[in-house]
Amino acid sequence: MRTSSSTKETIENSFVELFMSLSYSSISVALICKAAHVSRTTFYDSFSGKEAVLTKIVEDDIVKPLLSISNNMDMGTIKSAPTLLMELIYKNIQHKADFYLRLNRLDNGALLQKILTSGFMTLNNEILEKSSISEDEKRYAGFFFASSNATLVGHWLSNSLDVTPETLARFYNKWTMHYWLETYPGKLDWTTNTKGVVVSVAEKLRC
The predicted-structure confidence for 138-161, as pLDDT tens digits, reads as follows 999 999 999 999 999 999 999 999
pTM of the model: 0.80
Which domains are present in the chain? Answer: 5-47 (1.10.10.60), 51-206 (1.10.357.10)
Three-state secondary-structure class, residue 39 = coil
Please, which residues have CB within 8 angstroms of residue 66's CB and are 6 or more apart in sequence?
85, 88, 89, 123
Is the pLDDT at 162 greater than 90? The verdict is yes
Residue 33: per-residue pLDDT:
98
**Four-point Cα dihedral 50, 95, 146, 63, nearest 10:** 70
Residue 181: per-residue pLDDT:
66
User: Are 146 and 121 spatial neighbours (Cβ–Cβ below 8 Å)?
Assistant: yes
Q: Residue 150 burial (CB < 10 Å; 0-12/13-18/19+)?
A: buried
Is the pLDDT at 205 greater than 60? The verdict is no
Is the pLDDT at 102 greater than 90? The verdict is yes
Residue 75: per-residue pLDDT:
53
CA-CA distance, 183 to 137, in Å (whole number)?
11
User: Are 154 and 113 spatial neighbours (Cβ–Cβ below 8 Å)?
Assistant: yes
Higher pLDDT pick, 98 / 83? 98
